[in-house]
Structure 1
Amino acid sequence: MMLYPPMKDLLKEIPSRYMLVNVVAQRARQIASEAESAGIPLDDKPVSMAIREVADGKIDVTTE
């Protein structure tokens, strides 16, 4: 099974695997919560949606 998008592409957006996991998990919970409160059924899993957002550069993570 191939991971899409590839890990190397995700790590271009977020430099640490550990940070990537935390960012994706937080965004996935947010997506699921927003869909539930709006009563919108999701066609895809929240984690998959969050990973695609990271790959597309839609999530801005700044490290201090």
Structure 2
Amino acid sequence: MMLYPPMAELVDKIGSRYLLVNLVARRARNIAQKAEETGEILDRKPISIAIDEVYTGKLKLKEDNGEEEPAAEAEPETAEDAEAGETEDTETD
């Protein structure tokens, strides 16, 4: 039995089997959840839809460059905002 789309082509698009499986599983859960919330009846299994989305290029792995901006470095725009933040933190009565 030949699988379509071929697993090798799917892995080439994502980079590794591990990432492919996680991406497809996450998307399939998302598809199923949205269908349940809206009452939509799917004519195909969510996993098949997710695999087709990867194969056609509609679903891609989001690259993470490893750089994160800590929220603590964000500075208030004005001195009034800073004072408001300080008073909100101290008012815990």
Q: Give the TM-score normalised by structure 2.
A: 0.65
- Shift >6 Å, 4+ stretches: none
Q: Percent of aligned pairs with the same residue?
A: 56
More RCO (CA 8 Å, sep 6+): 1
Q: 1: CA distance between counterparts of 2:9 and 2:2?
A: 13
SS of match in other structure, 1:59? coil
Q: 2: CA distance between counterparts of 1:63 and 1:9?
A: 22
Indicate the residue corresponding to 1:11 in structure 2: 11
CA-to-partner distance for each residue in 1:25-54, whole Å, 9 max, x for gaps? 000000000111010000000001100000
Q: 2: CA distance between counterparts of 1:58 and 1:13?
A: 11
How many positions carry a matched residue from both structures?
Answer: 64
Structure 1, gaps ≥5 residues long? none
Q: Give the TM-score normalised by structure 1.
A: 0.92
Two-structure CA RMSD over aligned residues (Å): 1.0
Q: 2: CA distance between counterparts of 1:56 and 1:47?
A: 14
Q: 2: CA distance between counterparts of 1:48 and 1:17?
A: 16
Judged with a 3 Å threshold, the aligned counterparts in structure 2 of structure 1 residues 40 and 47 are, in CA distance, closer, same or farther, namely: same
CA-to-partner distance for each residue in 1:2-22, whole Å, 9 max, x for gaps? 111001210121010000000
Q: 1: CA distance between counterparts of 2:37 and 2:19?
A: 27
CA-CA distance at 1:63 after TM superposition: 4.4
Structure number, greater radius of gyration? 2
Q: 2: CA distance between counterparts of 1:2 and 1:57?
A: 21
Structure 2, gaps ≥5 residues long? 66-93
SS of match in other structure, 1:5? coil
